[in-house]
Structure 1
């Protein structure tokens, strides 16, 4: 998410470019910047149908799905979202608010300051999905998707859902390629969306030798190589930037040869896996979101099962 001061000029500055560029600056609007994003959309002059808007259901809104979505629509000044994501499968205990009002934050543990986990809602996240399906029925949302869901939990969702998620937005990068998850999602016809495809702050993946060598060969930046690699492996990369020039550069794809793709894939698998985003220890009680070290629930084992 972007801070309010940067969000409006960024959204507005994107408007002379192709619609695909504007769509990069709008997805992932957060409660603290939706007003600014909405103002930028309004002032852009770009037709609504040429803008792709993605927003997310946050962890303290799992029991307020309809109200949270409508709040987002009102702030953005639009009648529908193109994509609405369940941000995490875990649910936070929301702050106390008067009846009918939408919580704006979670309750915190007094000793640690961490979010209080609503375990019952977390364990029944498929019921939250059912409420999201109703948003599609009402025309408030065109597509619904998931984020940060493991293979096992996605399997659980697919058993009961009426509307299948179109995407699973997960952390995918050169140092965290998640090949089993990517391959499995593609088999299920669920698009893997890659957040942090360039690594997070301080993680300079574009300068790694295998990436840098290919970038120099094509006369581009390492970011172009990493983004093009994600596209080639069937993922939808979502690079984050608040700099218009970088946003414009990030949408420039290059044609990677089979040999280069193989080199990148092998290089990624040779990296020590480095996951950046995990809320498992940010809640009380802690909750193993990804089950990466579980003997039977980890993605590698789950991908191998029917």
Structure 2
């Protein structure tokens, strides 16, 4: 098994999350089981899904088919915008567990702040209850900006264990990452390769050529060396294995600095200040 699979990041509540996981955003429902089975067979032990991806059932079927002990797996799902609110959040969590066929999740996140609805605060209180009752190992948020984290700090009994945000070489959200560090929140990078757009950057390809590795391995090692949890998405077993084979990728301080310098503040995904789609289909 790749050394990368043995790496973990310990969250504020003591929960250890495998640092390299598989994201299943945009994996079709009828393909999710096969994709996740391939990932688990290849050594992945961290799978990230969401109610909005409409593939939780396939993920759960793969987990059961793998035969792996539950305590060897780390499964994350997320609350849809249309399910925000205290009582609805509690029901939505149970619904995700039912679709996944699991008694409990390892990590549950508020998918977006969806500020126009004014409900994420109540959703966070519900997540705190779920964790206090032992129904989920850790709770966190996704796509929360500095302003949302600052508001959380003013009213919450506990801060999120993790903030999953769009983060890749050309969009690094340094202000959000700094706020997370200040609050003891781990940073998890989604779209860690810029949905492929960052792979062809000359600085990245030059490092890859120098080291004899792929551009994806360079970027993912940069994330790992910066201490982030990372969830690259792939449906190719070959790329899955390559994405997790990072032990031979030795980036120097100059390499890391060169990638740090690529930030152009160009977001690919939705803006957390305005994204308000219900996500319910």
TM-score class, shorter:
0.7 to 0.9
Aligned equivalents of 1:56 and 1:33: distance in 2? 12
Cα distance in structure 2, aligned partners of 1:78 and 1:251: 26
Distance 1:11 1:207, change over 3 A: same
Cα separation, partners in 2 of 1:283 and 1:89, compared to 1, 3 Å: closer
Q: 5+ residue gaps in structure 2?
A: 1-24
2:49–2:56 contact (8 Å) kept in structure 1:
no
- Report the CA distance between 1:43 and its aligned residue: 0.9
Contact 1:227/1:250 (<8 A) preserved: yes
Task: Number of aligned residue pairs: give it.
Answer: 246
> Is the aligned partner of 1:250 residue 2:243?
yes
- Whether 1:77 aligns to 2:84 is no
Equivalent residue number for residue 44 of structure 1 = 66
Give yes or no for the alignment of 1:210 onto 2:203. Answer: yes
Q: 1:259 aligns with which of 239, 242, 254?
A: 254
Distance apart, 1:8 and its partner CA: 0.8
Tell me the residue number matched to 1:3.
Answer: 28
Corresponding residue of 2:10: none
1:282 CA drift (Å): 5.5
Contact in 1 for aligned 2:79/2:93 (Cα 8 Å): yes
Name the counterpart of 1:299. Answer: none
Aligned partners of 1:83 and 1:143 also within 8 Å = yes
Alpha-carbon distance, 1:124 to partner: 4.6
Q: Is the 8 A contact 1:29 1:37 kept in 2?
A: no
State the alpha-carbon separation in 2 of the partners of residues 59 and 283 from structure 1: 7
Larger radius of gyration: 1
Q: Which residue of 2 aligns with 1:224?
A: 217
Which residue, 48, 54, 60 being the options, matches 1:27?
48
Distance 1:79 1:283 in 2: 30
Conserved? CA contact 1:11–1:22, under 8 Å: no
Change (3 A) 1:33 1:124: closer
Match 2:113 to one of 71, 89, 98: 89
Which residues in structure 2 correspond to 1:1-306 (within 5 Å)? Answer: 1=25, 2-18=27-43, 21-23=44-46, 26-30=47-51, 32-63=54-85, 64-90=88-114, 119=116, 122-200=117-195, 203-253=196-246, 254-266=249-261, 268-269=262-263, 272-279=264-271, 283=276
Relative to the length of structure 1, the TM-score reads 0.76
1:123 to 1:281, Cα distance in 2 relative to 1, 3 A: closer
Alpha-carbon separation, structure 2, partners of 1:217 and 1:159: 48
- Asked whether the equivalents of residues 81 and 276 of structure 2 are also in contact (C-alpha less than 8 Å), the reply is no
Unaligned runs of 5+ in 1: 92-118, 285-306
- Contact 1:165/1:190 (8 A) holds in 2: yes
Q: TM-score, normalised by structure 2?
A: 0.82
Superposed CA RMSD? 1.8
Distance between the aligned counterparts of 2:148 and 2:51, measured in 1?
Answer: 25
Over 3 Å counting, the alpha-carbon distance change for 1:75 and 1:178 in structure 2 is same
Pick the structure with more strand per residue: 2
Greater relative CO (CA pairs within 8 A, separation 6+)? 2
Check conservation: 1:27, 1:53, Cα contact below 8 A.
Answer: yes
Instruction: Spell out, residue by residue over 1:42-92, the C-alpha distance to the aligned partner (whole angstroms, 9 max, x if none).
Output: 11111111110000001000131111101111111111100000000117x
